[in-house]
Structure 1
Amino acid sequence: MPDPPPSLDPVQLGAYFALIEVTSLLRHAVEQQLREAGDLSYVQFQLLARLGDAPTGSHRMTDLADGVVYSRSALTYQAGLLEKAGLVTRAQAEDDERGTTVTITDAGRERLARVFPGHIEIVQQLLFEPLSGADVKALAALLEPVRDHMRAIPPRSAAPRRRRHAS
């Protein structure tokens, strides 16, 4: 007789669904605010924020894709839109002729400065307002090891590419 399929107990299932719903509701509100305040998608905001936090204002495209958990091809498209808008520049990586480096421009920094106050307000209002300071610390303590566990899996860019076989 085959083993029964794996399942989640009711508490695990409830926690999973609550996390997914909270994430979806928060992301929807954040995306709406970013569009209205800065004509940015969520991914574009993530890219600009990561570049804005970097000491040099630059990152390799592969590192950005791994950091924002986005495919390289989709990220290339988003970086192209940001470049057309004058918010980033792209250039061949100095240490790898196949690599691309993305750098935030002054206009990109200005756009970030424009959207950040509303972004912080949404996150504060929706995520942190109903929680006490101790709850926020507990939430961070719970999520950090889960994130670290998931990040321990090699990033997509490190995974070997699948070859399509002719059938």
Structure 2
Amino acid sequence: MDTPRALTPPEEELWRAFARILNVLPRVIDVELQTKANITAPEYTALSSLGDARPDGLRINELAARVGLSASRVSRLADGLVRRGEVARHQDPDDARGYRLTITDAGLTRIEAAWPHQVDNVRRTVLDHVDEADYEVLTRTLRKIVGD
């Protein structure tokens, strides 16, 4: 392996700020949602993703890609949501070996109750710190980083 190119001071500063966000922001979002809406950030993301995918729902691997967690972690998350009646499992009509997850009315109710808290949380923790003129470039850059 070739010797890696050292980071320049501005690159190092950017990376350290980005790494800090990767560690801090998920906790801040999660604690706020749990405290104000009794829902975890992964639950919120899963339910809202399933709400967006109505009426067909999503397979576990599709939901995992949207939530940003492993398929096994999302499977455990889905098990809890199914037990609470917020998500339903259905045989996948295109693949009898698999199933699709759909949001139920109880899941929609839960996500609708949490939505105002999530919007306020996102605005306070992220959007209020970004100039609107930078939204497009920042969005494009973040999507490139995650391969979207």
Q: What runs of 5+ residues in structure 2 fail to find an aligned partner?
A: none
SS in structure 2 of the partner of residue 58 of structure 1:
coil
Counterpart Cα distance in 2 of 1:46 and 1:99: 22
Instruction: Give how far 1:57 is off.
Output: 5.6
Aligned pairs for 1:31-50 (under 5 A) are: 31-50=30-49
Task: Give the TM-score taking structure 2 as reference length.
Answer: 0.87
Residue number in structure 2 paired with 1:11: 10
Instruction: Give how far 1:31 is off.
Output: 0.2
Residue number in structure 2 paired with 1:22: 21
Aligned pairs for 1:1-167 (under 5 A) are: 3-56=2-55, 58-147=57-146, 150-151=147-148
Aligned AA (1:126):
T
The structure with the greater share of residues assigned to helix is: 2
Instruction: Give how far 1:146 is off.
Output: 2.7
Q: Is the 8 A contact 1:37 1:114 kept in 2?
A: no
SS in structure 2 of the partner of residue 59 of structure 1:
coil
Task: Give the aligned length.
Answer: 148
Counterpart Cα distance in 2 of 1:74 and 1:16: 27
Structure with greater Cα Rg: 1
Percent of matched pairs sharing the same residue: 28
Instruction: Give how far 1:6 is off.
Output: 4.6
Counterpart Cα distance in 1 of 2:74 and 2:140: 30
| Runs of 4+ residues deviating >6 angstroms | none
Counterpart Cα distance in 1 of 2:46 and 2:10: 35
Task: Give the TM-score taking structure 1 as reference length.
Answer: 0.78
Please tell me the root mean square deviation across aligned C-alpha atoms, in Å.
2.0
Q: What runs of 5+ residues in structure 1 fail to find an aligned partner?
A: 152-167
